[in-house]
Amino acid sequence: MKKVMQAFIMVFIAAFALIGVASYLNSSNGYSGANTLTVYNWGDYIDPDLIDEFQRQTGIRVVYETFDSNEAMLTKIAHGGTAFDIVIPSDYAINKMKAEGMLIPLDHSKIPNLEHIDLRFLDLPFDEGNIYSVPYFWGTMGIIYNPELVRGKEFSSWDDLWDEELAGQILMVDSAREVVGIGLVSLGYSLNDTDTEHLQEAYRKLCGLTPNVKAIVGDEIKMLLANEEAAVGVVWSGDAAIIMDENDKLDYVIPPEGSMVWFDNIVIPTTARNVEGAHQFINFMLDPADAAQNTEYVGYATPNAAALEHLPEEITGDERFYPGPDVTDNLEVLANLGKRMLGYYNELFLEFKMHRKRA
Ligand code: SPD
């Protein structure tokens, strides 16, 4: 019996020592096993040095995953499996997540850097009072074109995309609301139209654009346009800014008949396990110097008024990428159209993609 007790004590001491060594190894990296933060963000949408700096300052280890559309993000979160602590969706997706009880209300007392956000980007209809989200980046959607490759053609309307001289020359952003939206807005309808007759009309009009569409692509759209592998792109303004930084021959316009102004905000989903760390991360990203560093790296427009002071006038003074309210007040913000209608937009987009492949 004495021997059994001795063996039991030895096993107990060995297990304890093993736990101690593992914990030492973790803490020597500055991490404790449970102290992680799982971040789910768009691709190419953060300066990796800032993740390192956040880890160094807080001792929290960041696990980072990316998505390429709001729809892909929503599907992954709905399927569960990963306990995301931070997600960065857009306007209508935030409203949908809020309506479906997928978000945790933010504790503003833990985000003092919220005071640096320009009031223009706070209290927007998709999240009044910023109960669930804080601004990260914002922008518009428009046409980027290479004047040399289009031989001087001007783009003063969405309809110009249908010009038969542009056969096989257009790259489009891989996003349902944007692509179906171009069909709608070119017909004079709202980007938030829910009339199925109008949506079918928009789909038929988009099918007529098929011969001009070279590809529907994700983040590689930036490299392809900067390398002049296509003459025209339908892009988010931030991508246009990055492309034009690489290749200053190109130009970006927002067609006057209408387009979208969009907002990507940071939220804490109900899957979060490290709500305290998530607030620390949000406050860190809203620090003016960090937000400015992130803006220089990512290339999109920052809503952080204090960060603008750290950025060169050449970036912040470019009205194509920092348009004033005189421009954005005439643009539409995508609304949460409800599960059935969002599904309908996704179906039309898929059908358009299949129509293009068959053509
Ligand atoms: N590569 C980062 C892309 C982020 C774009 N967000 C815009 C969403 C518009 N609905």
CB of 90 shorter than 6 A to ligand 1: yes
Classify domain 140-261+332-358 by CATH number.
3.40.190.10
Q: Which fold has domain 11-138+263-325?
A: D-Maltodextrin-Binding Protein; domain 2 (3.40.190)
What is the C-alpha separation between 89 and 97, in angstroms, rounded? Answer: 9
Q: Encode pLDDT of 103-141 as tens digits.
A: 999 999 999 999 999 999 999 999 999 999 999 999 999
Q: Encode pLDDT of 19-29 as tens digits.
A: 443 443 333 33
Q: Which two tokens stand for residue 185?
A: 């807005």
Q: Please say if the pLDDT value at position 157 is more than 80.
A: yes
- Residue from 175, 170, 163, 173 nearest 146 by CA: 170
CB of 338 shorter than 6 A to ligand 1: no
CA of 142 to the centre of ligand 1 (A): 13
Nearby residues of 290 by Cβ (< 8 Å), 6 or more positions away: 50, 53, 284
Q: Encode pLDDT of 40-67 as tens digits.
A: 999 999 999 999 999 999 999 999 999 9
CB of 42 shorter than 6 A to ligand 1: yes
Q: Encode pLDDT of 270-290 as tens digits.
A: 999 999 999 999 999 999 999
Q: Encode pLDDT of 332-350 as tens digits.
A: 999 999 999 999 999 999 9
- Residue from 86, 88, 65, 99 nearest 135 by CA: 88
What is the C-alpha separation between 149 and 69, in angstroms, rounded? Answer: 29
State the average pLDDT for the chain.
Answer: 92
Structure confidence at residue 34 (pLDDT): 59
Q: Please say if the pLDDT value at position 30 is more than 90.
A: no
Q: Please say if the pLDDT value at position 323 is more than 70.
A: yes
Q: Please say if the pLDDT value at position 73 is more than 50.
A: yes
Confidence of residue 81 (pLDDT cuts 50, 70, 90): confident
CB of 332 shorter than 6 A to ligand 1: no
State the span(s) of the chain assigned CATH 3.40.190.10: 11-138+263-325, 140-261+332-358
Confidence of residue 11 (pLDDT cuts 50, 70, 90): very low
Q: Please say if the pLDDT value at position 37 is more than 90.
A: yes
Q: Encode pLDDT of 168-197 as tens digits.
A: 999 999 999 999 999 999 999 999 999 999
**Partner residues linked to 41 by β-bridges:** 66
User: What are the distances in angstroms from CA 169 to CA 66, 83, 213?
Assistant: 29, 41, 6
First to last CA, the chain: 82
* CB-CB neighbours of 29 under 10 Å: 10
Structure confidence at residue 21 (pLDDT): 38
CB of 67 shorter than 6 A to ligand 1: no
CB of 132 shorter than 6 A to ligand 1: no
Structure confidence at residue 356 (pLDDT): 85
Nearest ligand 1 atom to alpha carbon 43: 1
Label the pairing between strands 232-236 and 61-67.
Answer: unpaired
